Structure 1
């Protein structure tokens, strides 16, 4: 189906929705959260807009959690259990190298990970438990440290449940999902809440080799006000997952009929992973102007991944399958102090914090294996520790229509490595420090127009195996960036946010997983423009769109050979949501990614795509039925694409071409929810 046909089909669907359900809007608009109630010069502006997004177009899968961030794209290319590849602001973040991700104060990014620096696997989150999604683009935020170059995302789960919930879903490719959320305390209990949530997922997927994807999630959260000044929250969660994967397949293998689009060259790819989290948050209100808070966290993490990127390139007999293993514990805390000052003509909010993260890496291994079962060669085998201590201070000074926010952050890292293969004893260490100043200024011209200028430095850390090898030199490359933007409310029910931005990165990192190293790729420069639109003409109708342009180049390379592979120049996401007082809702989403260079000279191009999803739901007070249609028009698209040198079993010489993972075809999933 061509673009024109898709456009007409979408228009027809929207017209039917309008004609069929407009009569339901005669009920009061107070029943629905509304964009018109948002104050644009409020410090919580981003969170308020996200709340409207979540209410009008709620998340329906683990992938949707990240897709709610404007301008952020993801790609899955390993059977559903591997962390998604993330694209944001001209960065192919791999699995998290240049985006900081946290959840309930727990860092999600894994430093010195077996598969990729900053690996951020969010599959331990249950979508129905997400209360808030906070995000920011650029490196302008004092509380955010390592990996905060393209931006950050923070997820917060509910403190309390309005209702108990039981949900069951099933659909294409033998997909099954069940969710349960239960309050464990009486609703009459004052100032305290305790609930548990559980999720089970299974899918065979569309591939010729069944994915056998399975995942179990459990979350428990308790919180209470001890007295009028003291609050405590305790969170525990655990998840485990296993899967088979088709991997990235060469285009020539499909063209030659060796396999079809849903086939695989190595049918034994896949893996397993698990993570258990514990977090304790304490808050003390000293007085009406002062408060302190502390967050302690612990994570137990395991990861085992089997991949085959090159097939028979290096080993023509056994193949090139590798196993990556990660086994660690993560300990840490964050403390924060806030003091508010009311002066004669201005207000100041001063915030300072400090914290520590300690990764105790018991096993970090890379092995050459045969079909998962036979170890052929141990390529890397280390144990390590990594400590990140940080402190920051920031001030929000509101004077008249101006808000001035200077800040500075300091991070100190200590790395220690024990290389079991090369007989490097424990105690081989290195350290480094990074200072990151920031300055943000905004001007509220009136209640419907606010200008802002953001600027600051950020950084990303390197893998401990590279750090020790380089003896601690050039291991915390910095970024410098700036945003110039405006928030406009042309009408009460519309918000428009255009912005121009720039990012310079001292050292681009490219992780080479099959060699257990992070390759430095030189200085890079990115500049671009974002346009965000939110429009809610009626309480029941919500329209959103984000258009993002990025021009990304390597500075030290000749013109024409300075492209940054896999960085799209143009992306856009958005949709139309209908939510009537009668209980009917519909959400038609789109995502568009332009073609992007797969090589530095742009001689190989990764094709873009335009994909639509549709969610329909109808519910009353205690129950709801929903229907999710992925890839509504059955578009043939490639989700992940890489230019790779490979060799097939029948080939005498290696070939460099595009390898890809096909995107989800037309798929349907139906569900039933019961609240009590």
Structure 2
């Protein structure tokens, strides 16, 4: 009967069948537990953020027969306000923290999943490689590579990979299903006691929904991207909810050698209890593989060896797999609440990259395989009390966080993905580096918010972190043990609100951990002079911020912050070795502005503006093997503008404009990138509450810029001279994507 009701359903079924058939060699076996998850998808749910009660006008009455006077209960009118960020006046600890609503995540046009995080003011999420690899992040004058100083969490699980095969803090978000996200809380600066490793530039906590609508979505794009999604919620008789979601995807991109990126994702989440007491359990699965067009030498494009979508080594690519199980338990009383969580994650990663081409090996080329197998166990516990001390209101949180990583990581010299017996930079046989690492981390903290007067409050935090472990070098048989404690005081003074405005003064110490292999000397890189940088397990940073949060007009929220960050040692990406390595001390100074305006309940305008200056703090850069004090790849300027529209009837959509400004590619500033500008837009139409159509257009102006650029030594051909120059990964050209969503 449903075929007669909706003639689109047979088309949807055929598309799902086509995609499943295309993945028949990639999906797990029929009895694999992932198949069971994918076969049990169901859901129910709508969102509502603002609810107002309204009494309806009296209806017409019969003039001859008086109607009985029965009191009618008031009806509820749902008014959903389109808002990208929640107003945190009176609750925030700093001027730069915020909370992104699920509304923006649903309306925002995003070419790839990681770009949803560009809703964080001043954050740029781009790519310098294939679709399956972790994104490139830039924030507050940092080129964060794949996450070196941006702490990312999903369902309170830390995503940053310590001592990762490719880069410290590697943050791969490709396992996420966007339909399952309910919002993002973010911070900037090391001012929050509950944020530890990698949180100096900022942090983001992506929240998973406990309820999603029953939907099937099929999409197709002009760059060979296809996706099938199904998800929903099963409502139990006792109020419990069981969320299931799964997605299959494929992407080629504009590349001369298509990415052929294919992935499978699944999530199952069970929620029990009430806001006062309950628990949830979540399981997630992801598997992806792809070919990668890495950043290519501009010289090769200019001399005609390749075009801007070409590659000097079409065998670059990767494979990634991730399983996770996490759980939360919460309880609360009249003036307290206690939240506990635990998680276990297992993942595998292999990347094949050839950045320098024939620089080190003119015969076979410089491709290398970076392999990793990791299991991470961890959890956290936070207890909060709301008390009155004499006449002062006090909120105190005491918490502990911990994780333990068991990982094997190696690097091999390869040619067309085949391992070669000899390494150009090591005496290892078949492996250039191979390490078995066990690394534990624990952080303990306390944070108190004291309301001295109605217009003045203080936030004081203390945090102590310990990291320790052992690195077994499997090439030379050595073992390195290391451990370190780090104390971090933090605090804010908040004045206001006066006329709906608050002034914030914040200061604190934070840190990022370093790759254990750089601590032990298991691998060496030559970007910085050997022995010039002492590598601890944790590198500290000190930061200060002054800012204001204001609502000068009705429905207009503004945040302004000026910051300074001093790092004891900068982490920089080394293109020759394909890893991050520690360098000289650095300083960043900058100003950020953010505003959101809702002239009508169904429309929002928002804009973010960020300026930053990043320099090394050294009078002798030559001692570090560099020619200047400019921090390479650190953006000077970021601007964005957004428009969100949702009539809550038929039409909805979003517009996003992003401008990444110029930045130095080398330390003497003799070579610079011009950055890029990009315009993305999407528009959707709801035919019925259960059927909608959405069209997205990316890079609307067809910018020919580069999404990411670097500069390092390379050799284009076996007989060519060594060159030092810029490399680039082209921004995808104008493309379109059509998606059809049907409820069931």
Q: What corresponds to 2:508 in structure 1?
A: 456
Q: What corresponds to 1:403 in structure 2?
A: 457
**Could you tell me how far 1:115 is from its partner in structure 2?**
0.1
**Could you tell me how far 1:229 is from its partner in structure 2?**
4.8
Q: What corresponds to 1:641 in structure 2?
A: 709
Compared CA separation, residues 58 and 243, structure 1 to 2 (3 A): closer
Q: What corresponds to 2:428 in structure 1?
A: none
Compared CA separation, residues 667 and 37, structure 1 to 2 (3 A): closer
Q: Distance in 2 between matches of 1:35 and 1:176?
A: 28
- Among residues 694, 697, 701, which one is paired with 1:629 in the alignment? 697
Moved more, 469-478 or 368-377: 469-478
Compared CA separation, residues 355 and 260, structure 1 to 2 (3 A): same
Compared CA separation, residues 217 and 447, structure 1 to 2 (3 A): farther
**Could you tell me how far 1:430 is from its partner in structure 2?**
0.8
- Among residues 376, 381, 393, which one is paired with 2:434 in the alignment? 381
Residue pairs, 1:546-561, within 5 angstroms: 546-557=608-619, 561=628
Q: Distance in 1 between matches of 2:109 and 2:311?
A: 34
- Among residues 312, 323, 327, which one is paired with 2:373 in the alignment? 327
Q: Distance in 1 between matches of 2:206 and 2:299?
A: 41
Compared CA separation, residues 643 and 61, structure 1 to 2 (3 A): closer
Q: What corresponds to 2:358 in structure 1?
A: 312
**Could you tell me how far 1:583 is from its partner in structure 2?**
1.7
Q: Secondary structure at the match of 1:489?
A: strand
Cα deviation per residue 1:74-112 (whole Å; 9 max; x = unaligned)? 221221111011100011111111111111010100000
TM normalised by structure 1 equals: 0.91
**Could you tell me how far 1:33 is from its partner in structure 2?**
4.4
Q: Distance in 2 between matches of 1:383 and 1:433?
A: 23
- Among residues 282, 285, 301, which one is paired with 1:235 in the alignment? 282
Residue pairs, 1:171-320, within 5 angstroms: 171-186=221-236, 189-225=237-273, 229-285=276-332, 287-320=333-366
- Among residues 126, 129, 134, which one is paired with 2:177 in the alignment? 126
Moved more, 573-582 or 307-316: 573-582
**Could you tell me how far 1:220 is from its partner in structure 2?**
0.5
Q: Distance in 1 between matches of 2:109 and 2:181?
A: 10
Q: What corresponds to 2:60 in structure 1?
A: none
Cα deviation per residue 1:456-477 (whole Å; 9 max; x = unaligned)? 1000111111222399963311
Q: Secondary structure at the match of 1:324?
A: strand
Moved more, 544-553 or 67-76: 67-76
Q: Secondary structure at the match of 1:330?
A: strand
- Among residues 348, 351, 357, which one is paired with 2:403 in the alignment? 357
TM normalised by structure 2 equals: 0.83
Cα deviation per residue 1:20-77 (whole Å; 9 max; x = unaligned)? xxxxxxxx99243458994622349955554564465476740322211110012212
Q: Secondary structure at the match of 2:630?
A: coil
Moved more, 347-356 or 469-478: 469-478
Compared CA separation, residues 634 and 34, structure 1 to 2 (3 A): closer
Q: Distance in 2 between matches of 1:500 and 1:396?
A: 23
Q: Secondary structure at the match of 2:680?
A: strand
Residue pairs, 1:70-85, within 5 angstroms: 70-85=121-136
**Could you tell me how far 1:368 is from its partner in structure 2?**
0.5
Say which one has the larger Rg. 2
- Among residues 342, 345, 359, which one is paired with 2:391 in the alignment? 345
Cα deviation per residue 1:565-605 (whole Å; 9 max; x = unaligned)? 01111111122222224320231210001111100011111
Compared CA separation, residues 217 and 139, structure 1 to 2 (3 A): same
The answer on whether the counterparts of 1:415 and 1:468 sit within 8 Å (CA) in structure 2 is no
- Among residues 638, 659, 674, which one is paired with 1:607 in the alignment? 674
The answer on whether the counterparts of 1:36 and 1:493 sit within 8 Å (CA) in structure 2 is no
Cα deviation per residue 1:546-575 (whole Å; 9 max; x = unaligned)? 000001100104698210001111111122
Moved more, 43-52 or 579-588: 43-52
Q: Secondary structure at the match of 2:505?
A: strand
Compared CA separation, residues 439 and 207, structure 1 to 2 (3 A): same
Correspondence 1:95 to 2:95: no
Could you say what the CA RMSD is over the residues aligned between the two structures, in angstroms? Answer: 2.2
Q: Distance in 1 between matches of 2:99 and 2:486?
A: 33
Q: What corresponds to 1:15 in structure 2?
A: none
The answer on whether the counterparts of 2:511 and 2:539 sit within 8 Å (CA) in structure 1 is yes
Q: Distance in 2 between matches of 1:528 and 1:602?
A: 19
The answer on whether the counterparts of 1:588 and 1:612 sit within 8 Å (CA) in structure 2 is yes
Q: Secondary structure at the match of 2:398?
A: strand
